Amino acid sequence: MGRFSCAGINNQSNAFNFHGDRRIWDGSTIRRNIRGNSVLYIVMSEPPHDYQSWIQCLRDNLHYEATIAPAESPLQGGAPFNVTFIPALDPTVTSGFAKFKKRGNVFATVELERSVRFDCLNGFSIPAALEPGLADVEIESQRRILLGFTRLFYYPNKKQTSQMVHFKEPSMLRTLCEDMSEDFRGANSTSTGRPQASATFGHAQQVQLLCLLIYTAAKEGAQQFVEMIFSCSAGRIVFDAYKSNSQLPEVIAREHGNLGTARYFENITKRLLKESSTGKECPKAIDWSELAKATDRTQQ
């Protein structure tokens, strides 16, 4: 039976470019691989021989825009989740599987059941992960037909957060930034060419993650980490997020005896309040690639 694949054209050889394994691309993959006025090609390996085969072939090759909710989880997992689809899920799909992957390796598979009331697939529990960051989630039907892909973000636990702000696990921090940067590049771009917030892990959640790291650094006196964050454009975004809090990081730092870190935060507050009063625009999105490079510089 024939199978469909998405492809672009290699401008140098006029050959189809499948960008990896032959498959139907989801929306984010199309946006990443097809730029400007480039054409998206749907290639069929071998045509089916009858009408029913055509219908089954289309069903087996229809990939959806899949969205998992919730889109974030603590490392231990445990919460129920659902996966919704655009377009609406084919009625022949009654159950399925969610394969959770890190760097291409499956670390958990969860059975899915179709909701009676809502057009989605439900999973009983988000599986636990060993490390923070984005996990790829591959959704299959009960017949093991690939339906689509989505991603889920695992928050670091308390120990990992402490290790990251003290650069005891620099590879963990850098991998986290690289994961976010990769997802960031896959999202839409604005008309000015600036990247928008990650389509998987929204802007508010990204800021919340950095605030968690900043407040941990304040509590533990990890001034080098704080200096790194505020050397990047993300520093202004984080500051604007916490500046109205009842307890500022400098207060937390002082309460825990980290006087040098407290003074640094106080100077940052003065500088950024003055900057915002002049009308200087705050960046709209966190540049994770900039943070990854800053992490490297800190380790040199």
What does the block give as tokens for 143? 């017949």
Report the chain (300 residues): mean pLDDT per 10 consecutive residues: 74 77 78 78 69 56 82 94 90 93 93 91 96 91 89 92 90 86 56 38 87 96 96 95 94 96 96 87 89 87
d(CA 149, CA 100) in angstroms, rounded, equals 10
For helices 234-242 and 223-230, the axis angle rounded to 10 degrees is: 110
The helix (H) or strand (E) run that includes residue 134 is strand 133-141
Q: How many CB atoms lie within 10 A of CB 282?
A: 13
Q: What is the pLDDT of residue 28?
A: 72
Q: How open is the CA angle 77-28-57, to the nearest 5 degrees?
A: 95
Helix spans in 38-157 (H)? 51-61
Q: How many angstroms separate the CA atoms of 214 and 242, rounded?
A: 10
Q: What's the rounded Cα separation, in Å, for the pair 94 and 142?
A: 7
Q: Which of 191, 218, 212, 186 is nearest to 201 (CA)?
A: 186
How many alpha carbons fall within 13 Å on the CB side of residue 19?
A: 17
Write the CA distances from 238 to 55, 71, 119, 192, 294, integer angstroms: 51, 21, 37, 23, 16
Instruction: Check if the beta carbon of residue 64 is closer than 8 Å to that of residue 148.
Output: yes
> Measuring CA to CA, which residue among 246, 242, 243, 257 is closest to residue 210?
242
Residue 69 host element (H or E): strand 64-69
Sheet of 4-9, strand order: 16-17, 4-9, 41-44
- What is d(CA 269, CA 92) in angstroms, rounded to the nearest whole number? 57
Counting Cα atoms < 13 Å in the Cβ hemisphere of 268 gives: 27
**Upper half-sphere CA count for residue 298 (Cβ side, 13 Å):** 27
Alpha carbons 184 and 192: distance in angstroms, whole number: 16
For the chain, how many residues are written? Answer: 300
β-strand partners of 149:
65, 138
